[in-house]
Structure 1
Amino acid sequence: MRQSQRAMVETFNAQYVSLHVRVSNNAALRLYRDTLGFKNEKIEAKYYADGEDAYSMKLDLGFIREQIVDEEDEDEGEPVGSLGKEGGDTEVNGGDAGPKKRKVRVGRGLGVGDLVERDESHKA
């Protein structure tokens, strides 16, 4: 559930999640209110077709947005690779570039473009 809430914030920039729960559905009420942190906004009279009332519940997703911002600002720890080491920036800025690079042909250069798809399932 937490992952879906985070995805809603990241993908759709969601501000809140709302839902309706039957007044008689105690298990769902405990799940949403006590476990997931939804708040009762109001009671919708005769919300369901059988005439039963429903709780209109809402969960503010602002705390997830704050978590995402905090994670983005968080220091990742020790420097990685040669950067951050003494003399490491000379390699990056024009020193020894390491092994010589060579060009490699891929895709159409290898003749993949000339391949033809055949359906051999009809042959007996």
Structure 2
Amino acid sequence: MDEQSVRAALEHYIRHSAAGDEDRASEIYHEDAVLEFPQSGERFEGVANFREWRREYPAQVDLEIVRVRGRDDFWVVEVRARYDGGPWMYGPAVYEFRGDRVSRETIYVGEAWEAPGWRARWRAAP
């Protein structure tokens, strides 16, 4: 896999999931893919299991890709997510590929915070 292919796969997921088409969105996964949320301790084995709860998700989720980094079959994607138009949350999602599809996805999400003023003099310009 290369960065362009990874980005294309994730944009496919985002586009179809936002349209409510979880079948098409889930095409990026192998049938035996694993999805993990370390913060909640959840692990879902098999795309059929997490595709179904994603169909029932009780909020509108907006996702944006910030940055893609990695090589071969291991990629870290910085993402922004918000729920029902709320504040953006940030985190990395770790993707392991087998061939051209995702075999494991590990998602971390955290709230944004205001940068403290005391360290401003050392910050790089945006």
* Same fold per superposition (TM over 0.5): no
Q: Which has the larger radius of gyration?
A: 1
Per residue, is there more helix in 1 or in 2? 1
* Structure ranking higher in strand proportion: 2
Indicate the TM-score class for this superposition, using the shorter chain for normalisation: under 0.3
TM-score (norm 2): 0.19
